[in-house]
Structure 1
Amino acid sequence: MIRHARSRMSPGIASGSVRETSAPRVQAAPDGPVFLKASKRPAVPVTSDRPAVPASGGGLTWLQIVRLALVQTALGAMVVLTTSTMNRVMVVELALPAIVPGALVAIHYALQMLRPAFGHGSDGGRRRTPFIVGGMAVLGLGAVGAAAATALMSTSPTAGILAAMLAFVLIGAGVGAAGTNLLTLVATQVAPHRRGPAATLIWIMMIAGFAVTTGLAGQFLDPYSPARLVAVTATVCAIAFLVSLLAVAGVETSGSGGTAKTPEAAAKPAFRVALAEIWAEAETRRFTILIFVSMLAYSAQDLVLEPFAGLVFAMTPGETTALSSAQHGGTVLGMVLVALAAPLLARRLPGILTGLCVAGCLGSALALGLLATSGFLPGLVALTPLVFALGLCNGVFAVAAIARMMGLAREGAKGREGVRMGVWGASQAIAFGLGGFLGTVAVDLTGQILGQNLGGGGSAYAFVFGAEALLFILSARLALRAVTRPSAPPASSRREPGPSSSDVVPA
């Protein structure tokens, strides 16, 4: 939810200058890569097939990257109110069936199918900032509308649920438009050696948005009242939108380097044509499958882990909350380790990020396998260190995959970065939506099939954790295949020889 290498093009080609010696002549291959053949005539400037970064090669500065990460923080702050706080209000304060908030959140995830269309809207030379700002505005309106609809449910449940359905449509559309174009902007404007740390920063800032918002909103919501819920939500959304507006202002202009788009990138085809072009890329297809399978395993544990700890290990609500905190702490630590290790090891280990992604998947599989076993020996296993290790491996895998995704977004057909990121974002969202649902269903069904109460033994949970472990093992295999180019020509004949430009993160 990633490999970078410095380009080894000759200075003349890289800068677009004309040289008189044996200059290269460009020849396009049917599957996309560009080859060079010797020619005695002067060469014409070669136009890069990737989105421009400043001529200095520095891309966005760290301050600009932090500003974009603040947008992700603001996005997370708005979303968490709808998926966490209002979820609890509907079930506890309003005594509605859990399927009501579950179905509303499912609407939000279903709208993520539009992510490729949102990315396509900003491709072809258009600026992505308006899509980010517009998406945040729609998200804010949807979140406030969801709060008002939740308040309405206390007096008119049917009208409130119908209003909430419309609000969650806005939430899904806003998240899709803002999130897709934010990540695409980072992928196309951040220099290769900064993409790994940038991915870590953006993910951590999103988690920070979750944590800070739930902590502060929880204090201001007591004592609960429908009017207070609407007021707190409106305040959070107003602050988040203002922060995102100030954070993104001027970043795209200053980071673009003023380089004009190529004619091919500017000639934007219809959405269906662009989507077909993207899906025809074998590497894009493989990476989409990797994201879906790995995120399915990643998210299936969300709604299962705390009930497992309470029912099998007899932990109190406070203890299971601390257990969840340990998992998130491990996740953040894993992300930070990748951000620090990848640049240091990149020169000696060109495929470091791919290796970290595989290691994270295999480590997660091992931790889940141990969790499955622990259910049969609850008195002999220390659950907290095991869950911390699971979070650590999850963090290593997640940020390595995100960094790889940012590198791949610049490869393939030019001017299709938004569609490409949208396809991957949709795959991730669908996997997240299915993962949480299927995890709980699998526990219930397995418990019934085995004829045991969920609190009596860990067999049902062992089955679910074991299935997740198998998915992570499959993800490790997919991670290796997702970065190969079996049909690519030898490195010596390519315009950018050697490893893929997203293979390593230079120090």
Structure 2
Amino acid sequence: MIGSARQVAGGGFGWFSIIRLGAVQASIGAIVMLATSLLNRVMVVEYALVAAIPAGLVAWHYAVQLTRPLWGHGSDMGRRRTPWVIGGVFLLGLGGLLAVSATVMIADDFGLGLALAIFAFTMIGAGVGAGGTSLLALLASGVAPQRRAAAAAVTWIMMVAGIVISAGVAGALLDPFSPQRLAMVATGVVVVAFAVCVIAMFRLEANAPRLERAEPSGPAPDFMAAIREIFQEQEARRFTAFIFVSMLAYSMQDLILEPFAGLVFNMTPGESTSLAGTQHGGVLAGMIIAGVGGSAFAARMPVELRTWIVAGCMGSALALCGLAVAAQVGEGWPLVANVFALGFCNGVFAVASIGAMMGLAGSGENTREGIRMGVWGASQAIAFGTGGLLGAVGVDVARRVQGQDGAAFQLIFAAEAALFLVAAYLAVRAASTRTRAQAELVGVG
């Protein structure tokens, strides 16, 4: 058998170890929430900055994550990924605290405060890239195939939980607002998150039972050789395109759903926030269903998680078509049910995609999991940064041109639905490439 075909016979991380890795994801989510959500509100509301400033900083932290392949390759070259995970989370936490200091400084010295904020968000993007990519690579190399969908579900559900818990606690402790209280709350979030990360990673990698598999056929190549190997593979190219298009569609709704609820359905801020909570509840439900179902049927599915990915993308497209209709119908449309369905289908395709990503990460002849996860993580980061911006700008332009709120949102929701259909097509093509490759392997063997 060729070295690139890694067949797992047993071993790998057990469920308790997977939960510990999920706790690390929760730590990353908690600190990212501090930087991209809490500080966004503080800059705009408490310090009366234009919304473009925090939006630009968030977009910059995604741009910095283009370095993910470099971080992944670095963890591939070392013998352990734990230092990369802990080091990345430390860098992320330090960047979060500097971002808080920069936010307070902007009120007194705008230029110096903004420069410090840009530096801080550079650290945040690099920390997410180093810690998050190495963590995913560790999951990909240490989880047996039949557990990958469930492992992806567990880690992502815990990440969402980390965001929700830290947001709730920080929000409760932040009132009444003052710069000193902001600094104390942020420090508490970072210290607790980093401590959880260190405790969760303690001896985890060293004590894990090893998977029995065929190793790559040669030593790890240098960075550019590894990149060339990945993009010479048709399956890897198609999967990269799928990740970009699906995450572009996924993120376009982030900044426009609540304004849509307010402008078209006359919802109050509290009601629209509750609607966003309904969407997140749907995402969690979809993740659980895909995690359980993907693991239960993985052994019998000829193309692994393709069915779940395609179903999630098609369902998301259908739910977005429903929102496009709702933009014209207005009040009376079952908006809450529609938004829950959208979240549910988003959760299904997201977890199935991550499970498939973990499987493909170990398919290289010479390249390791780290750099492959880095390439797909960079694709995802570009899509997230671009998608949120395109959705918001697209609605603004459409509202100005068409002069109708409903028609403007309808256009953007329809465009998102079309992107999800393209993503489903790309997922099918990527899976068909793998099926042909496996058939050729069987023929050779």
TM-score > 0.5, shorter chain as reference: yes
| Residue 398 of structure 1, CA deviation | 0.6
Q: Which runs of 5+ in 1 are unaligned?
A: 1-25, 27-33, 35-47, 496-507
In the alignment, the residues of structure 1 paired with residue 95 and residue 431 of structure 2 have an alpha-carbon distance, to the nearest angstrom, of 38
In the alignment, the residues of structure 1 paired with residue 366 and residue 439 of structure 2 have an alpha-carbon distance, to the nearest angstrom, of 19
Residue pair 2:260, 2:409 contacting (<8 A) in 1 also: yes
In the alignment, the residues of structure 1 paired with residue 180 and residue 279 of structure 2 have an alpha-carbon distance, to the nearest angstrom, of 34
Residue pair 1:368, 1:466 contacting (<8 A) in 2 also: yes
In the alignment, the residues of structure 2 paired with residue 52 and residue 185 of structure 1 have an alpha-carbon distance, to the nearest angstrom, of 17
Residue pair 1:200, 1:399 contacting (<8 A) in 2 also: yes
1:136 and 2:86 aligned: no
Q: Helix, strand or coil for the counterpart of 1:57?
A: coil
* 1:353-372 Cα shifts (integer Å, max 9, x gaps): 21111011011101101100
1:238 and 2:188 aligned: no
Paired residue for 1:14? none
TM-score by length of 1: 0.84
Residue pair 2:148, 2:295 contacting (<8 A) in 1 also: no
1:159 to 93, 97, 112: 112
Residue pair 2:303, 2:431 contacting (<8 A) in 1 also: no
Paired residue for 1:471? 419
Q: Give the direction of change, closer, same or farther, for the CA distance of 1:356–1:469 in structure 2 (3 Å limit).
A: same
1:313 and 2:261 aligned: no
Residue pair 1:78, 1:237 contacting (<8 A) in 2 also: yes
Paired residue for 1:275? 227
Paired residue for 2:395? 443
1:175 and 2:123 aligned: no
Paired residue for 1:490? 440
1:299 and 2:244 aligned: no
* 1:432-459 Cα shifts (integer Å, max 9, x gaps): 0000000011111111221x153xxx00
* 1:125-153 Cα shifts (integer Å, max 9, x gaps): 52111110110111111000000111111
Farther off after superposition, 121-130 or 401-410? 121-130
Q: Which runs of 5+ in 2 are unaligned?
A: none
Residue pair 1:335, 1:395 contacting (<8 A) in 2 also: yes
* 1:277-326 Cα shifts (integer Å, max 9, x gaps): 11111111100000000000000001011100100000011110111111
Residue pair 1:357, 1:476 contacting (<8 A) in 2 also: yes
Paired residue for 1:459? 407
1:120 and 2:73 aligned: yes
Q: Give the direction of change, closer, same or farther, for the CA distance of 1:175–1:347 in structure 2 (3 Å limit).
A: closer
2:39 to 86, 101, 120: 86
Map 1:73-472 to 2 at 5 A: 73-124=26-77, 126-255=79-208, 257=210, 264-265=217-218, 267-351=219-303, 353-450=305-402, 452-454=403-405, 458-472=406-420
* 1:74-132 Cα shifts (integer Å, max 9, x gaps): 00000001101000010001001111101111110011100000000011452111110
Q: Considering only CA atoms, is the larger Rg found in Structure 1 or Structure 2?
A: 1
| Residue 350 of structure 1, CA deviation | 3.1
Farther off after superposition, 63-72 or 121-130? 121-130
Residue pair 1:115, 1:176 contacting (<8 A) in 2 also: yes
| Residue 349 of structure 1, CA deviation | 3.8
* 1:219-255 Cα shifts (integer Å, max 9, x gaps): 1111111121111111111111111011011111122
> Percent of pairs identical after alignment?
50
Whichever residue aligns with residue 357 of structure 1, its letter is: I
Would you tell me which structure has more helix in proportion to its own residues?
2
| Residue 339 of structure 1, CA deviation | 1.6
In the alignment, the residues of structure 1 paired with residue 404 and residue 314 of structure 2 have an alpha-carbon distance, to the nearest angstrom, of 31
Q: Helix, strand or coil for the counterpart of 2:305?
A: helix
| Residue 260 of structure 1, CA deviation | 11
* 1:360-417 Cα shifts (integer Å, max 9, x gaps): 1011101101100111111331100000001111111110111000000011223421
In the alignment, the residues of structure 2 paired with residue 489 and residue 356 of structure 1 have an alpha-carbon distance, to the nearest angstrom, of 22
* 1:158-207 Cα shifts (integer Å, max 9, x gaps): 21111111100100000000000000000100111111100000110110
In the alignment, the residues of structure 2 paired with residue 66 and residue 359 of structure 1 have an alpha-carbon distance, to the nearest angstrom, of 27
Q: Helix, strand or coil for the counterpart of 1:229?
A: helix
In the alignment, the residues of structure 2 paired with residue 247 and residue 200 of structure 1 have an alpha-carbon distance, to the nearest angstrom, of 18
Map 1:6-45 to 2 at 5 A: 34=2
